[in-house]
Amino acid sequence: MTDLAFLKNNEPEYFSAFCPSKRISIKGDFENGMNSGDSIYAGYFQDNLLKGFIGGYVDKERENVDCIGPFTAESYNGIFHELFQFLRNQLPLDYKYTFYIGSENKECIHFMEELNALSTGNEYTLYIEKKEYKNGEISQELTEYSKEYKEQLINLHDTIFPGVYISGKGIIESLGKSREVCCIIKENELVGYCVLRNYNGTSNGTIEVLAVKEKYRHQGYGRKLLNSMIKKAFDSYNKERLNLIVDQINQNALSLYYSIGFKLNQVNCAYIIK
Protein backbone atom coordinates (compact mmCIF):
# COMPACT_ATOMS: atom_id res chain seq x y z
CA MET A 1 0.00 0.00 0.00
CA THR A 2 2.83 2.39 0.84
CA ASP A 3 4.62 1.54 -2.41
CA LEU A 4 1.53 2.17 -4.53
CA ALA A 5 0.73 5.46 -2.79
CA PHE A 6 4.35 6.63 -3.11
CA LEU A 7 4.45 5.74 -6.81
CA LYS A 8 1.14 7.37 -7.74
CA ASN A 9 1.13 10.40 -5.46
CA ASN A 10 4.30 11.63 -7.09
CA GLU A 11 2.56 11.70 -10.47
CA PRO A 12 0.56 14.95 -10.99
CA GLU A 13 -2.33 13.11 -12.67
CA TYR A 14 -2.92 11.02 -9.52
CA PHE A 15 -2.02 13.54 -6.80
CA SER A 16 -4.02 13.45 -3.55
CA ALA A 17 -3.22 16.28 -1.11
CA PHE A 18 -4.14 14.34 2.04
CA CYS A 19 -1.31 11.89 1.31
CA PRO A 20 2.35 12.87 1.85
CA SER A 21 4.79 12.55 -1.04
CA LYS A 22 7.74 11.00 0.80
CA ARG A 23 7.72 7.23 1.36
CA ILE A 24 8.68 7.44 5.04
CA SER A 25 5.89 9.95 5.73
CA ILE A 26 3.32 7.82 3.89
CA LYS A 27 4.35 4.73 5.83
CA GLY A 28 4.24 6.64 9.13
CA ASP A 29 0.79 8.10 8.43
CA PHE A 30 -0.62 4.69 7.48
CA GLU A 31 0.84 3.00 10.56
CA ASN A 32 -0.33 5.75 12.90
CA GLY A 33 -3.80 5.68 11.41
CA MET A 34 -4.15 1.92 11.66
CA ASN A 35 -2.77 1.77 15.19
CA SER A 36 -4.97 4.59 16.46
CA GLY A 37 -8.12 3.44 14.71
CA ASP A 38 -8.61 6.93 13.27
CA SER A 39 -8.26 5.80 9.65
CA ILE A 40 -10.13 3.51 7.30
CA TYR A 41 -8.93 1.77 4.12
CA ALA A 42 -10.50 -0.25 1.32
CA GLY A 43 -8.36 -2.32 -1.06
CA TYR A 44 -9.05 -3.87 -4.47
CA PHE A 45 -7.23 -7.17 -5.06
CA GLN A 46 -6.74 -9.44 -8.06
CA ASP A 47 -4.98 -12.78 -7.55
CA ASN A 48 -3.92 -11.61 -4.09
CA LEU A 49 -2.23 -8.55 -5.57
CA LEU A 50 -3.24 -5.03 -4.50
CA LYS A 51 -4.53 -3.22 -7.59
CA GLY A 52 -5.87 -0.15 -5.87
CA PHE A 53 -7.05 1.35 -2.59
CA ILE A 54 -8.73 4.34 -1.06
CA GLY A 55 -8.34 5.52 2.52
CA GLY A 56 -9.41 8.25 4.85
CA TYR A 57 -8.79 9.99 8.15
CA VAL A 58 -12.02 9.73 10.14
CA ASP A 59 -13.19 12.60 12.33
CA LYS A 60 -16.13 11.19 14.29
CA GLU A 61 -16.82 14.48 16.02
CA ARG A 62 -17.37 16.26 12.70
CA GLU A 63 -18.65 13.21 10.83
CA ASN A 64 -16.08 13.78 8.09
CA VAL A 65 -13.54 11.65 6.24
CA ASP A 66 -10.49 13.27 4.62
CA CYS A 67 -9.95 10.91 1.71
CA ILE A 68 -6.56 9.58 0.64
CA GLY A 69 -6.34 8.61 -3.02
CA PRO A 70 -7.77 6.71 -4.71
CA PHE A 71 -4.56 5.12 -5.95
CA THR A 72 -4.77 2.38 -8.57
CA ALA A 73 -2.13 0.44 -10.46
CA GLU A 74 -3.90 1.22 -13.72
CA SER A 75 -6.92 3.33 -14.67
CA TYR A 76 -9.55 4.22 -12.05
CA ASN A 77 -12.16 2.89 -14.46
CA GLY A 78 -14.13 0.02 -12.93
CA ILE A 79 -12.37 0.35 -9.57
CA PHE A 80 -13.13 3.80 -8.17
CA HIS A 81 -16.87 3.33 -7.65
CA GLU A 82 -16.41 -0.07 -6.01
CA LEU A 83 -13.69 1.17 -3.69
CA PHE A 84 -15.56 4.29 -2.65
CA GLN A 85 -18.87 2.51 -2.14
CA PHE A 86 -17.21 -0.17 -0.02
CA LEU A 87 -15.52 2.51 2.10
CA ARG A 88 -18.78 4.38 2.45
CA ASN A 89 -20.65 1.28 3.58
CA GLN A 90 -18.34 0.93 6.60
CA LEU A 91 -19.44 4.26 8.10
CA PRO A 92 -22.73 5.95 9.10
CA LEU A 93 -24.86 7.32 6.25
CA ASP A 94 -24.60 10.96 7.36
CA TYR A 95 -20.80 11.15 7.05
CA LYS A 96 -19.32 13.43 4.39
CA TYR A 97 -16.16 12.74 2.37
CA THR A 98 -13.62 15.45 1.55
CA PHE A 99 -11.22 15.14 -1.39
CA TYR A 100 -8.29 17.44 -2.15
CA ILE A 101 -6.83 16.44 -5.49
CA GLY A 102 -4.39 17.99 -7.93
CA SER A 103 -5.86 20.00 -10.79
CA GLU A 104 -4.17 17.56 -13.21
CA ASN A 105 -5.96 14.58 -11.65
CA LYS A 106 -8.59 14.69 -14.42
CA GLU A 107 -9.84 11.13 -13.94
CA CYS A 108 -10.67 11.68 -10.27
CA ILE A 109 -12.25 15.06 -11.06
CA HIS A 110 -14.44 13.25 -13.61
CA PHE A 111 -15.64 10.82 -10.95
CA MET A 112 -16.30 13.69 -8.53
CA GLU A 113 -18.60 15.19 -11.15
CA GLU A 114 -20.29 11.83 -11.75
CA LEU A 115 -21.02 11.55 -8.03
CA ASN A 116 -22.38 15.13 -7.91
CA ALA A 117 -19.68 16.14 -5.45
CA LEU A 118 -19.78 19.73 -4.23
CA SER A 119 -16.85 21.76 -5.52
CA THR A 120 -15.62 24.08 -2.76
CA GLY A 121 -13.03 25.90 -4.88
CA ASN A 122 -9.35 25.66 -5.62
CA GLU A 123 -6.51 25.75 -3.12
CA TYR A 124 -2.87 26.62 -3.58
CA THR A 125 -0.14 24.49 -2.04
CA LEU A 126 2.83 26.72 -1.26
CA TYR A 127 6.29 25.85 0.05
CA ILE A 128 9.35 27.49 1.54
CA GLU A 129 12.81 25.97 2.01
CA LYS A 130 15.23 26.60 4.83
CA LYS A 131 18.10 27.43 2.49
CA GLU A 132 16.05 30.24 0.91
CA TYR A 133 14.32 31.64 4.01
CA LYS A 134 15.40 35.07 5.20
CA ASN A 135 14.67 35.58 8.88
CA GLY A 136 11.67 37.84 9.30
CA GLU A 137 10.20 39.78 12.18
CA ILE A 138 9.16 37.69 15.19
CA SER A 139 7.23 38.79 18.25
CA GLN A 140 8.58 39.51 21.70
CA GLU A 141 5.09 38.57 22.92
CA LEU A 142 5.45 35.02 21.57
CA THR A 143 4.52 32.47 24.22
CA GLU A 144 4.89 28.72 24.47
CA TYR A 145 1.50 27.09 24.68
CA SER A 146 0.38 26.16 28.19
CA LYS A 147 -2.83 24.55 29.42
CA GLU A 148 -4.12 27.82 30.86
CA TYR A 149 -4.82 28.96 27.28
CA LYS A 150 -6.53 25.70 26.26
CA GLU A 151 -10.12 26.99 26.26
CA GLN A 152 -9.15 30.26 24.57
CA LEU A 153 -7.43 28.39 21.75
CA ILE A 154 -10.31 25.94 21.30
CA ASN A 155 -12.88 28.75 21.23
CA LEU A 156 -10.87 30.94 18.86
CA HIS A 157 -10.19 28.08 16.45
CA ASP A 158 -13.79 26.85 16.38
CA THR A 159 -15.06 30.42 15.92
CA ILE A 160 -12.75 31.26 13.00
CA PHE A 161 -12.82 27.80 11.38
CA PRO A 162 -16.22 26.22 12.13
CA GLY A 163 -16.70 22.78 10.64
CA VAL A 164 -13.17 22.33 9.27
CA TYR A 165 -11.43 18.97 9.26
CA ILE A 166 -9.81 19.46 12.68
CA SER A 167 -11.41 21.08 15.71
CA GLY A 168 -9.73 23.14 18.41
CA LYS A 169 -10.00 20.12 20.71
CA GLY A 170 -8.35 17.97 18.05
CA ILE A 171 -5.40 20.37 17.86
CA ILE A 172 -4.95 20.32 21.64
CA GLU A 173 -5.08 16.52 21.78
CA SER A 174 -2.39 16.17 19.09
CA LEU A 175 0.12 18.66 20.54
CA GLY A 176 3.51 17.07 21.13
CA LYS A 177 2.52 14.11 18.96
CA SER A 178 1.89 15.29 15.42
CA ARG A 179 1.42 19.03 15.94
CA GLU A 180 3.14 21.98 17.61
CA VAL A 181 1.74 25.44 18.30
CA CYS A 182 3.07 28.92 19.07
CA CYS A 183 0.92 31.71 20.48
CA ILE A 184 0.94 35.45 21.06
CA ILE A 185 -0.56 36.46 24.41
CA LYS A 186 -1.40 40.04 25.36
CA GLU A 187 -2.58 40.76 28.92
CA ASN A 188 -3.58 37.11 29.37
CA GLU A 189 -5.62 37.16 26.15
CA LEU A 190 -4.82 34.87 23.22
CA VAL A 191 -4.15 37.20 20.28
CA GLY A 192 -3.45 34.44 17.77
CA TYR A 193 -1.75 31.11 17.18
CA CYS A 194 0.05 29.15 14.49
CA VAL A 195 0.01 25.34 14.17
CA LEU A 196 2.77 23.22 12.66
CA ARG A 197 1.95 19.71 11.44
CA ASN A 198 5.14 17.91 12.39
CA TYR A 199 5.89 14.76 10.39
CA ASN A 200 8.28 13.06 12.81
CA GLY A 201 11.39 11.59 11.26
CA THR A 202 11.13 13.67 8.09
CA SER A 203 12.55 16.97 6.93
CA ASN A 204 9.11 18.27 5.88
CA GLY A 205 6.39 20.00 7.86
CA THR A 206 3.17 21.88 7.16
CA ILE A 207 2.02 25.24 8.46
CA GLU A 208 -1.48 23.97 9.09
CA VAL A 209 -3.29 26.85 10.79
CA LEU A 210 -2.63 30.57 11.21
CA ALA A 211 -5.26 32.58 13.07
CA VAL A 212 -5.52 36.01 14.71
CA LYS A 213 -8.47 37.25 16.75
CA GLU A 214 -10.51 39.77 14.76
CA LYS A 215 -9.78 42.85 16.91
CA TYR A 216 -6.01 42.27 16.55
CA ARG A 217 -5.94 41.85 12.77
CA HIS A 218 -4.05 44.18 10.40
CA GLN A 219 -1.52 44.91 13.14
CA GLY A 220 1.25 42.58 11.95
CA TYR A 221 0.52 39.70 14.33
CA GLY A 222 -0.09 37.18 11.54
CA ARG A 223 3.30 37.91 10.00
CA LYS A 224 5.03 37.65 13.39
CA LEU A 225 3.33 34.36 14.22
CA LEU A 226 4.17 32.86 10.84
CA ASN A 227 7.81 33.94 10.96
CA SER A 228 8.12 32.63 14.51
CA MET A 229 6.78 29.20 13.57
CA ILE A 230 8.91 29.01 10.42
CA LYS A 231 12.04 29.81 12.43
CA LYS A 232 11.08 27.28 15.10
CA ALA A 233 10.39 24.58 12.52
CA PHE A 234 13.73 25.12 10.81
CA ASP A 235 15.85 25.61 13.94
CA SER A 236 14.18 23.44 16.60
CA TYR A 237 12.50 20.69 14.58
CA ASN A 238 15.19 20.41 11.89
CA LYS A 239 12.80 20.89 8.98
CA GLU A 240 14.23 21.71 5.57
CA ARG A 241 10.94 22.47 3.81
CA LEU A 242 7.54 23.70 4.95
CA ASN A 243 4.28 23.46 3.04
CA LEU A 244 1.15 25.54 3.40
CA ILE A 245 -2.33 25.37 1.86
CA VAL A 246 -4.45 28.45 1.19
CA ASP A 247 -7.71 29.10 -0.65
CA GLN A 248 -7.20 30.69 -4.05
CA ILE A 249 -9.72 33.43 -3.21
CA ASN A 250 -7.86 34.46 -0.02
CA GLN A 251 -5.72 37.09 -1.71
CA ASN A 252 -4.70 38.84 1.54
CA ALA A 253 -3.23 35.62 2.91
CA LEU A 254 -1.54 34.84 -0.41
CA SER A 255 0.10 38.26 -0.41
CA LEU A 256 1.43 37.65 3.11
CA TYR A 257 2.82 34.21 2.27
CA TYR A 258 4.47 35.34 -0.96
CA SER A 259 6.05 38.35 0.80
CA ILE A 260 7.65 36.01 3.36
CA GLY A 261 9.11 33.83 0.63
CA PHE A 262 6.62 31.03 -0.04
CA LYS A 263 6.37 29.77 -3.63
CA LEU A 264 3.58 28.04 -5.55
CA ASN A 265 3.94 24.27 -5.76
CA GLN A 266 0.53 22.83 -6.64
CA VAL A 267 -3.05 23.85 -7.41
CA ASN A 268 -5.58 21.54 -5.73
CA CYS A 269 -9.31 21.12 -6.31
CA ALA A 270 -11.52 20.59 -3.27
CA TYR A 271 -14.68 18.44 -3.31
CA ILE A 272 -17.13 17.18 -0.72
CA ILE A 273 -19.41 14.17 -1.20
CA LYS A 274 -22.39 14.06 1.16
Supply the DSSP string of 97-140, one letter for each residue.
Answer: EEEEEETT-HHHHHHHHHTTPEEEEEEEEEEEEGGG-------T
Q: Is 70 exposed, middle or buried (0-12, 13-18, 19+ CB in 10 A)?
A: buried
Q: What proportion of the chain, given as a percentage, has pLDDT over 70?
A: 98
Question: For residue 78, is pLDDT > 80?
Answer: no
- Whether 128-266 and 2-116 are alike in CATH topology: the answer is yes
Residue 75 has pLDDT above 80, yes or no: no
Q: How many CB atoms lie within 10 A of CB 143?
A: 15
**pLDDT at residue 244 in the model:** 93
Q: Which residues contact 130 (CB under 8 A, 6 or more apart)?
A: 234, 239, 240, 241
CATH superfamily of 128-266: Gcn5-related N-acetyltransferase (GNAT) (3.40.630.30)
**Confidence class for position 195, pLDDT limits 50, 70, 90:** very high
Q: How far apart are CA 232 and CA 236, in angstroms?
A: 5
Provide the phi-psi class of 116: left if phi over 0, else alpha when psi is between -120 and 50, else beta. Answer: left
Question: Please, which pLDDT band fits residue 80 given cuts at 50, 70 and 90?
Answer: confident
- pLDDT beyond 90 at 248: no
Domain ranges in the chain? 2-116, 128-266
- Rounded to two decimals, the pTM is 0.73
Show Cβ contacts of residue 225 under 8 Å, excluding neighbours closer than 6 positions: 139, 142, 182, 184, 192, 193, 194, 210, 212
Reported CATH class of domain 2-116: alpha beta
